Amino acid sequence: MNNEIIRGRHRAPGRHNPLNELKLLARETAQPAMKGAAFVAATGGLVATFANPASADTLSANPAGAAAVGPTNGVAPAASTALAKIGYAPAAQKAVTQRATAPKPRVIEDITVKTERAAKAAADAAAERKAAAAAAERKAATQRASRDLTRRTLTSTTSTTKSTATSATNSAVPSASSGMRSAYNWATEGQCTWGALAKWHASEGYYPGGWTGNAMEWASGAANAGYTVTGTPRTRSILVMQPGVHGSSGVGHVAWVTGVNGNEVTIIEMNALAGAYNYNTRTLTDGPGMKYIYAP
């Protein structure tokens, strides 16, 4: 019996291992440039078997069980996946990785646009300042108009009160003389003296001056400074009360007179019933220990 020797691949039945054959073919391929193509062409069926093991679905799709030799439409994705498992990385995958790590474009600042925006912001700020100044001027004009109206109203009230007092007591309210002036409120802030001077300024537009001291000393001080000081109540005047009069403290008390009805005097005062820095209104009965500094 003649035994014919057949050259080529030999394997024992039942011991076929696709992965071992793939590694063996990869080592035996001599030319590196031809390594991938020869490997895929020679072992197309083995690659397909390694990448996708037989299952019920693949058996139904290929009832004959025959494996295709080599890829039918170029390099298949399954072959690329199978080669990657033994360390083979196609050039296409490297190119994708390089594109993913490309540097981002750098944004260059536009100096012209930046300058124009800064100029616009400065112009807007200047317009806002101008509008604020105009609003402040309108507010000041409104306050001046209100003060003038208050002065005219108080003058009219004083004339009416003077006529009533003349008829009732057969005596006239003395005319007021103008005394010295001050450029600021010189009393202690929050006290009755500061509040009375503030009300005088709101009515007349200036501060009286020329004297100092506690509230009980204001009558004599104002008279020495040139103002008219009498015992007859009148609006547009500062009421000076001696200690103990209508609850005045040991240094006296002063207030601004807003109304007179016979011997009933209505005042607005600071640091009294409402405390320091706050005003309250009271109506008092005129009597001993009460003097009035007239505004001209």
Q: Do the domain assignments include residue 186?
A: yes
Residue 161 within a domain: no
Q: Which of 54, 83, 100 is the last residue of a domain?
A: 100
Q: Does some domain include residue 223?
A: yes
Q: Is 67 within a domain? A: yes
Q: Is residue 192 part of a domain?
A: yes
Please identify, among 100, 128, 146, the residue that sits at the C-terminal boundary of a domain.
100
Is the same domain home to 181 and 271?
Answer: yes
Note whether 282 and 200 are same-domain residues.
Answer: yes
Query: Does residue 150 fall inside a structural domain?
Result: no
Residue segments in the chain with a per-residue pLDDT below the cut of 50? 1, 30, 33, 46-48, 50-79, 162-171
Q: Report residue 291 as tokens.
A: 């003097």
CB neighbourhood size of 170 (10 A): 7
> In this predicted structure, what is the pLDDT of residue 81?
53
Tell me: the pLDDT tens digits for 258-275? 999 999 999 999 999 999
Of the three residues 100, 131, 162, the one that is the final residue of a domain is 100
Position 10 in a domain: no
Residue 123 included in any domain: no
Domain range for residue 194?
174-294
pLDDT of 6 reads: 52
Per-residue model confidence as pLDDT tens digits over 159-212: 555 444 434 433 456 788 889 999 999 999 999 999 999 999 999 999 999 999
DSSP secondary structure letters along 223-252: HHTT--EESS--SSEEEEE-TTGGG-BTTB
- CA 195, 196, 202: angle at the middle one, nearest 5? 90
CA 243 – CA 249 distance, rounded (Å): 5
What CATH number did the domain enclosing 227 receive? 3.90.1720.10
pLDDT of residue 67: 44
The number of folded domains in the chain is 2
Helix residue spans in the chain (DSSP H): 18-28, 32-42, 44-51, 56-61, 77-84, 91-100, 111-169, 192-204, 218-224
DSSP 13: T
What confidence score (pLDDT) does residue 106 get?
73
Q: What pLDDT does 149 receive?
A: 74
- Do 197 and 290 share a structural domain? yes
CB 173 within 8 A of CB 165: yes
> Collapsing DSSP states into helix, strand and coil, what is residue 164?
helix
